[in-house]
């Protein structure tokens, strides 16, 4: 069973939901009626944080689960936590100034690269060994 990866997946979904609530709150605060996504630059930053996270979740979640299956449940969960921390750092940096989002982006991006390469190398090694 993949309990650790499941828990980190739920934490990732919770984090994303929190970002969605932040956008909803910002819509009221900056008076940006749906479906508009532009207006106040502060709102646009909050919106982009949520959307960029959504864009990365489509890459991160499959890699997370493939890593859990082919490599390690606990390892996937640990790297998943790093991804969440990276996304939080991205959020904090972006809200302060869009130019300050780089550290968080790098942390979460490297987490995904580790997941992806871990799966790829493991599968290729298994194929080479006839597994």
Please name each of the domains of the chain with its CATH number. 3-128 (1.20.120.550)
Would you state the structure tokens that stand for residue 2, as one six-digit string?
């993949």
Question: Measured between alpha carbons, how far is residue 36 from residues 16, 43, 58, 91 in Å?
Answer: 20, 11, 24, 21
Averaged pLDDT, 91-120? 97
What pLDDT score does 104 carry?
A: 98
* pTM over 0.75, yes/no: yes
Averaged pLDDT, 66-76? 98
- Mark out the alpha helices in the chain (DSSP H runs): 3-30, 41-70, 73-96, 102-128
What pLDDT score does 92 carry?
A: 98
What pLDDT score does 131 carry?
A: 82
Residue 7 to residue 10: CA distance in whole angstroms: 5
């Amino acid at each position: 069973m993949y309990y650790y990866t499941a828990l980190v997946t739920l934490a990732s979904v919770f984090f994303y939901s929190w970002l969605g609530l932040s956008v909803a709150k910002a819509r009221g605060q900056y008076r940006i009626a749906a479906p508009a996504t532009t207006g106040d630059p502060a709102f646009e930053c909050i919106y982009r944080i949520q959307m960029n996270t959504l864009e990365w979740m489509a890459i991160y979640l499959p890699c997370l689960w493939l890593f859990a299956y082919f490599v390690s449940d606990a390892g996937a969960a640990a790297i998943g936590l790093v991804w969440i921390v990276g996304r939080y750092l991205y959020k904090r940096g972006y809200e302060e100034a869009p130019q300050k989002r780089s550290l968080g982006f790098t942390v979460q991006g490297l987490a995904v690269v580790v997941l992806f390469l871990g799966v790829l190398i493991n599968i290729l090694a298994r194929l080479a060994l006839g597994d």
